[in-house]
């Protein structure tokens, strides 16, 4: 708008009001458009390789080998990942492979958990590209206040040093020390300050909220309508992930990164009536939504001496560089600040940018091949070092191993990497704390100025300490995909205390039922006003109808409203502690509401009888049981498919929200029908986690009792020996030694 005002200055001074009006009307669309998207520089770009814009994807046959090779690789993935829902491979902006499980379509969205972090990082690039955000400037300088839910050291002493770069790279320190020195993965309240920063910046531009701004400048140009709207967040963004996307939508984000921030605009510009305006910019080919320098900054380690496998909310596989810490890795359900090989393992040095979500949801970008892989579903993957297991302590799995399987199974059927492709390079600044920190320019147009100013800011934050610690091996820092960024404001009209009915405290309300394993989507059931509850506990007892009636609910709802099946997979030579196999009745999955059947079993010959097919609503589309173990790229694998038989429901005194896409409201007729089902109103069956804890306590008590008994016996024997010695010495008491009995 400043450009528009400058252009009007000579006309204003001439005094011709009509001319001013006409000029303003003519230039206003250009000024408004430039406030949202930056025109791209004059570069030679093949528009066919930039993706679909907001239109449909173009499908082509692979031109580097026979398409059967790629289909065979997809078959292998489908066999090893029984819970896959969709798989896509995009090369040069066009789809070369697309597959869906039976019951799923290209329009089906699913929650991608922490894989959406990469989308948030790209979104912030819009502000950086426009020069409205410097990732190396402290959030406090922008006026962002620390949340009361977070700890930033005594009296928030580290908060004035926290920058967007620290939050984007999980090096904020979480209040346990100065930022920039330790990698500590976070998906909750600390990283959520990025949303507060966005809100502060965009509301100054006239947008109603961060979500409103993100929809207009990012989601709509990419054709991802409704991506950032979430009823629980009241206009804020879920920085830790959890957004809902389809495979095709996720592929657009990957394509934007492959395009280095460029995006074709002719289609959506014509639909918005701005096609003529775009053609004035660049011939109608593309605009630069985020700058190339930001994409490079996003996909390069900022603090390689601290964490060399992570960029801006994105995991990085890359060849080790001098000075790299080789930290960090995700395994066994936690992200550990320990030295590790590249994310995809030793020997794989191809540059790969990975958005990784709970239950093996992946967006893998291979820039040296101009190719992306999107794989969404619900599978728990185990590795040799970390089996798929559940105990009283934790649920363990290895999503990183799942990404390695995808890479190895598809690698041979993909075009060879372009060795000439320029990989990420970085400029390093040596700090006095002996921690090497990497910086890139924060803005496309004023990078050198920001580099000089921001480097000193970050350096001063690090020079306050002389520590050279690059990671914390004892921190449990991974809360990946477990409802971690969900605020809980009121969903709807609350049905709380009814003054005219003194015999109870609550009327009506709702039951929110979540799908396993620990997912944040499911169904909401509205309770009739006739349901009177005298306590909150009574509300949970009512919700047990919906827990135990899941099978009937599943059969009554359409397939998209029921919980998806979950696959399990792990190598046969894993460290699993299951005595009778991954999917046996002795395994702990019943505690999660899962009934599992073996698909491929270790140590079972082909003469064994076939395992019966599951009756789940979404299981018949998967491969039939193979009985014997599957030979995967890393060795023999065992798999199983788990049907959901029960979900977890909790009571709230508030009504279901009709606009909630995570917990849509079930038909009231179904709610009334389920409430008629008989349930056992006694005490709930103890969960296996509770039983395990109780067993551990009993074991400790037994060991303690045995130790006390042995100690008492030893004392008795020693006392008897002393008594015998006293008797043998004529009644004289022997002198006690200095050693305590």
DSSP 215: I
Query: In b/e form, how buried is each residue of 189-214, taking b as 16+ CB within 10 angstroms?
Result: bbbbbbbbbbbebbeeeebebbbbbb
Query: In b/e form, how buried is each residue of 363-380, taking b as 16+ CB within 10 angstroms?
Result: bbbbbbbbbbbbbbbbbb
d(CA 283, CA 277): 10
Q: Are 60 and 96 in contact (CB under 8 A)?
A: yes
Q: Are 268 and 515 in contact (CB under 8 A)?
A: no
d(CA 398, CA 349): 20
pLDDT at 627: 56
pLDDT at 427: 37
pLDDT at 473: 31
DSSP 467: -
Structure tokens at 151: 């700890």
Q: Are 531 and 559 in contact (CB under 8 A)?
A: no
* Sign of the torsion formed by the C-alpha atoms of 320, 321, 326 and 328: negative
CB neighbourhood size of 552 (10 A):
14
Per residue in 580-627, pLDDT tens? 567 765 567 888 889 998 888 887 654 443 333 333 334 444 455 555
pLDDT at 537: 82
Helix, strand or coil for residue 665?
A: strand
pLDDT at 712: 78
Per residue in 35-62, pLDDT tens? 444 444 444 567 778 999 888 999 999 9
d(CA 443, CA 618): 47
Residue 693: exposure state from Cβ atoms within 10 A (0-12, 13-18, ≥19) = middle
d(CA 259, CA 247): 18
Q: At what angle do helices 17-36 and 275-282 cross, to 10 degrees?
A: 80
Q: Are 89 and 372 in contact (CB under 8 A)?
A: yes
**Below-70 pLDDT ranges, the chain:** 1-45, 231-232, 266-284, 331, 333-342, 390-394, 420-506, 559-560, 575-581, 584-587, 604-628, 679-696, 717-718, 720-741
d(CA 422, CA 300): 13
pLDDT at 735: 35
Domain ranges, ordered by start, for the chain:
110-386+393-412
Q: Give me the DSSP letters along 93-148.
A: TEEEEEEE-TT--TT--EE-GGGGHHHHHHHHHHHHHTTS--TTSBGGGGTPPPPT
CATH of domain 110-386+393-412: 3.40.710.10
CB neighbourhood size of 527 (10 A):
28
Q: Is 175 left (phi over 0), alpha (psi -120 to 50) or beta?
A: left
Q: Is 489 left (phi over 0), alpha (psi -120 to 50) or beta?
A: beta
CA of 372: how far to CAs of 64, 168, 256, in Å?
A: 16, 22, 11
Which residue reads 């041979």 in tokens? 412
Helix, strand or coil for residue 15?
A: coil
d(CA 368, CA 419): 7
CA-wise closest residue to 328 among 472, 114, 179 = 472
Q: What's the half-sphere exposure (Cβ side, CA atoms, 13 Å) at 219?
A: 18
E strand map for 645-710: 648-652
Q: What's the half-sphere exposure (Cβ side, CA atoms, 13 Å) at 47?
A: 13
CA-wise closest residue to 187 among 297, 113, 123 = 113
Which residue reads 């917990």 in tokens? 663
pTM: 0.77
pLDDT at 430: 32
Q: How many residues does the chain have?
A: 741
Helix, strand or coil for residue 376?
A: strand
The 3-state secondary structure of 21-86, one letter per residue = HHHHHHHHHHHHHHHHCECCCCCCCCHHHCCCCCCCCCECCCCCCCHHHHHHHHHHHHHHCCCEEE
pLDDT at 126: 97
List the Cα angle 551/555/556 in 5-degree steps: 115
List the Cα angle 264/406/382 in 5-degree steps: 135
């Amino acid at each position: 708008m400043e450009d528009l005002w400058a252009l009007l200055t000579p006309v204003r001074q001439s005094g011709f009001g009509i001319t001013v009006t006409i000029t303003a009307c003519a230039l206003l669309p250009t000024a408004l458009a430039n406030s949202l998207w930056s025109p791209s520089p004059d570069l030679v770009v093949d528009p066919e390789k930039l993706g679909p814009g907001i239109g449909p994807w173009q499908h082509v046959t692979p031109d580097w080998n026979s398409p059967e090779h790629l289909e065979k690789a997809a078959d292998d993935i489908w066999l090893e990942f029984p819970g896959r829902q969709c798989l896509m491979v995009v090369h040069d902006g066009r789809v070369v492979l697309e597959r869906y499980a039976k019951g799923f379509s290209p329009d089906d969205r699913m929650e991608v958990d922490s894989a959406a972090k990469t989308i948030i990082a790209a979104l912030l690039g819009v502000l950086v590209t426009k020069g409205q955000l410097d990732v190396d400037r402290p959030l406090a300088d922008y006026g962002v206040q620390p949340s009361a839910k977070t700890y930033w050291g005594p009296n928030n002493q580290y908060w004035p040093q926290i920058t967007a770069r620290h939050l984007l790279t999980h090096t904020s320190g979480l209040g346990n020390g100065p930022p920039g020195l330790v990698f500590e993965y976070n998906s909750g309240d600390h990283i959520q300050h990025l949303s507060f920063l966005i809100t502060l910046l965009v509301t100054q531009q006239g947008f109603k909220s961060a979500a409103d701004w993100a929809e207009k400048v990012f989601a709509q140009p990419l054709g991802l309508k409704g991506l950032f709207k979430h009823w629980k967040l009241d206009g804020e963004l879920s920085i830790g992930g959890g957004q809902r996307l389809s495979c095709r939508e996720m592929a657009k984000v990957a394509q934007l990164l492959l395009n280095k921030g460029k995006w074709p605009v002719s289609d959506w510009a014509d639909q918005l009536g701005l096609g003529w305006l775009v053609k004035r910019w660049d011939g109608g080919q593309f605009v630069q939504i985020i700058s190339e320098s930001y994409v490079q900054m996003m996909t390069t380690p900022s603090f390689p001496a601290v964490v060399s496998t992570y960029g801006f909310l994105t995991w990085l596989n890359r060849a080790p560089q001098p000075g790299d810490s080789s930290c960090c890795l995700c395994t066994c359900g936690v992200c550990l600040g320990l030295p590790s090989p590249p994310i995809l393992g030793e020997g794989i040095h191809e540059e790969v940018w990975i958005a990784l979500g709970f239950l093996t949801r992946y967006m893998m970008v291979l820039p040296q091949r101009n190719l992306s892989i999107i794989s969404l579903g619900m599978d728990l993957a185990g590795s040799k070092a970390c089996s798929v297991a559940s105990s009283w302590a934790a649920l363990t799995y290895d999503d990183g191993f799942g990404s390695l399987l995808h890479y190895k199974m598809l690698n041979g059927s993909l075009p060879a990497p372009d060795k000439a492709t320029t990989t990420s390079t970085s400029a390093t600044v040596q700090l006095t704390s002996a921690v090497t920190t990497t910086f890139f320019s924060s803005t496309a147009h004023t990078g050198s100025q920001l580099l000089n100013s921001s480097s000193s800011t970050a350096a001063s934050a690090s020079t306050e300490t002389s520590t050279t610690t690059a990671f914390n091996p004892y921190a449990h820092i991974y809360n990946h995909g477990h409802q971690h960024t969900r605020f809980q404001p009121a969903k709807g009209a609350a049905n709380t205390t009814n003054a005219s009915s003194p015999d109870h405290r609550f009327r009506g309300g709702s039951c929110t039922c979540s799908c396993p394993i620990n997912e944040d989507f499911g169904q909401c059931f509205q309770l009739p006003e006739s349901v009177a509850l005298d306590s909150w506990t009574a509300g949970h007892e009512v919700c047990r109808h919906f827990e135990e009636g899941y099978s009937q609910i599943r059969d009554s709802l359409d397939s998209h409203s029921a919980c998806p099946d979950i696959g399990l997979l792990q190598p046969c030579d894993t460290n699993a502690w299951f005595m009778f196999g991954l999917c046996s009745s002795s395994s702990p999955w019943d505690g999660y509401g899962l009934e599992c059947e073996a698909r491929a079993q270790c140590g079972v010959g082909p003469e064994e009888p076939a395992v019966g097919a599951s009756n789940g609503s979404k299981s018949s589309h998967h491969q039939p049981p193979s009985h014997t173990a599957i030979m995967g790229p890393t060795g023999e694998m065992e798999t199983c498919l788990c049907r959901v038989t029960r979900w977890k429901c909790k009571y709230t005194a508030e009504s279901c929200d009709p606009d909630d896409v995570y917990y849509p409201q079930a038909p009231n007729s179904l709610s009334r029908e389920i409430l008629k089902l008989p349930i056992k109103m006694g005490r709930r069956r103890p969960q296996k986690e509770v039983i395990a804890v109780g067993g551990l306590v009993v074991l400790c008590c037994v060991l303690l009792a045995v130790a006390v008994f042995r100690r008492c016996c030893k004392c008795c024997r020693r006392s008897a020996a002393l008594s015998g010695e006293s008797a043998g010495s004529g009644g004289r008491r022997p002198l006690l030694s200095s050693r305590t009995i």
